[in-house]
Structure 1
Amino acid sequence: MIRSTIALLALLAATSAAAQDVRMAPVAPVDQADAIPLWPDQPVPAKGADEQWSTMHVQIGSNSIDNIMVRNVVRSTITPYLPDRAKATGAAVIVAPGGAFLSLSMTGEGSDIARWLADHGVAAFVLKYRLNETPRDDRGFLSMMGERFANAAAPEAQEKVREPRATQDALKALAIVRASAAAYRIDPARVGMIGFSAGAMTTLNAVLEGKPAQRPAFIGYIYGPMLAPAVPADAPPMFNAIAMDDGLFKGQGFAIVEAWRQAKRPVELHAYERGDHGFGAGRPGTTTALLLPEFLAWMDMRGLLAAR
């Protein structure tokens, strides 16, 4: 079972429609009862124009793909997943799911990640950020996603895949979590981010566009584009992970890692032999299953888990 929306659409883009059995169905929002609005004054969308939550099932040959996602997000939130007080380390991570800025993989790259971190003493907050608008009918949505993924690996295409409001939401989420540090029993100096694909791009943009005091204290950059940005001289430490057979970015090398090194900023790279794109917390049977333990070990190495 592959639970990432982005992995699903990448596979769809490479597979003939005749070989696909695609089913989508509306579903109630997942884990939203405790969601905190980032912008409380945002107007409530009119009926029929609110975000859309769906399950998606795809059968391609022997591959069964399932996912829970949301699209057409216009009211951004964070949902907290807090550790037991006996386990709490004082560190916090904002989790940014992926989905090409057209949808968000809210389980495999959201709540699953956050629950794991909370179980290991790290306060986690799933960021539901604003997205590009998509057709409200499922067929139109799938067509739009397919078109976006068909040429997603080209650098010029990546320049066009963006959503500035997602960066605004990330910076706002960081500010809210830090302002509530006492209530969450966390250290405001140890609030980082981990993002997946488009979520990795959002995490990176929070570093590149945020003022020093606004930026995450550390970042997990998981199967994002590997092109080199202009790295700030005081950029936070980066944990970078990607599979060598990544269907979108495997031909880009590791330019972003080298850019961090050239800026003399801390960076760690995990290049897994297999896992493709969108492996989330890890694909069974591959070493990507070590992603979260390795991320936690990296945090520990950097002194981020020492209760204070």
Structure 2
Amino acid sequence: METLYLWTNQVPNEINEKQYAVKTPDTSNNIVRLTDVTNPILEVFRPDAAKNNGASVIICPGGGYKILAIDLEGYEIAKWLNTLGFTAFVLQYRVPENHLGALNDVQRAIKIVRSKSKGYNVKSYKIGVLGFSAGGSLSARASTNFNKSTYKKLDEIDKVSCRPDFAVLIYPAYLNKGKNNTITPELTVTEQTPPMFIFATADDAYSNKGSLVLSKALIDFKIPIELHILDSGGHGYGLRKGNIAAETWPVLAEKWLKNIIK
């Protein structure tokens, strides 16, 4: 597996030394959890050459900005995207509790992938973000803060746009942190906000109201939006079988993704 390091020298807004991410002892529900990410990376998953559709997706696993559910919402998603023809990049962004650092990381990741697009056979130059739970929050932040410089420019890569061409948010968290459950103030939707696919369930308190709030803001600005809210499914299911939501969203997202990269 190819690994791309986001920051060659000093990591912005990081006080700790660079180190490998740490696996937590919690393996409940057969999930590998990483924490103490201080040297963020992208892990590259390439599709078969015959299937390559010329687009790529940066995957942001969830974990409450405390850990990264790296297999459930990272590697397993990358392999699924490969079957659809996408080059997938699993992002190890900074945790725990470095919200600014996480935003730095996803912005830098988009710039790196865009700057290397020719090398990854990304003929369409369409680069999306796909996030789960807190990773959905991070994907929404990347999609609404791309005009803000959140760290000092370091090199030629930082001259490249960090605007995603599309975003997929699966049970996204923290979208309605405004007063009285309004949209999180940081999420500034404009006419330049990219199209989004949002999936949640009615029984998921982390994402049901927030998904509605963000969708309304997108509709108000006439941004293409596809929203699905299933009646049940809970939270944190990824692609794993035995959960109706986990079996539903990939089918809907596949159709949307194929249309969005045309």
TM range (shorter): 0.7 to 0.9
The answer on 1:171 being equivalent to 2:107 is yes
Distance 1:276 1:172 in 2: 32
**Corresponding residue for residue 204 of structure 1:** 140
2:146/2:163 contact within 8 Å kept: yes
The answer on 1:56 being equivalent to 2:14 is no
**Corresponding residue for residue 5 of structure 2:** 37
How far is 1:284 from its partner?
Answer: 1.5
The letter of the residue matching 1:259 is: A
> SS in structure 2 opposite 1:95?
strand
**Corresponding residue for residue 236 of structure 1:** 194
How far is 1:188 from its partner?
Answer: 5.8
> SS in structure 2 opposite 1:254?
helix
> SS in structure 2 opposite 1:178?
helix
The letter of the residue matching 1:293 is: V
TM-score, normalised via structure 1 length = 0.71
1:282/1:291 contact within 8 Å kept: no
**Corresponding residue for residue 67 of structure 1:** 31
RMSD of equivalent CA atoms: 2.3
1:275/1:283 contact within 8 Å kept: no
The answer on 1:217 being equivalent to 2:165 is yes
**Corresponding residue for residue 54 of structure 2:** 90
TM-score, normalised via structure 2 length = 0.83
How far is 1:55 from its partner?
Answer: 5.1
Structure 1 runs of 4+ aligned residues shifted over 3 Å read 249-253
Distance 1:275 1:223 in 2: 10
Which protein is bigger by CA-based radius of gyration?
1
The answer on 1:276 being equivalent to 2:240 is no
Instruction: Work out the number of aligned pairs and report it.
Output: 237
Unaligned stretches of 5+ residues in structure 1: 1-32, 59-64, 134-161
Highest RCO, 1 vs 2 (Cα 8 Å, sep ≥ 6): 1
Pick which of 206-215 and 119-128 moved more. Answer: 206-215
2:201/2:207 contact within 8 Å kept: no
> SS in structure 1 opposite 2:44?
strand
The change in CA–CA distance for 1:236 and 1:46 in structure 2 (over 3 A counts) is closer
1:96/1:200 contact within 8 Å kept: yes
Please show how residues 94-133 of structure 1 align to structure 2 within 5 Å: 94-132=58-96
Unaligned stretches of 5+ residues in structure 2: 149-160, 177-182
The change in CA–CA distance for 1:253 and 1:95 in structure 2 (over 3 A counts) is closer
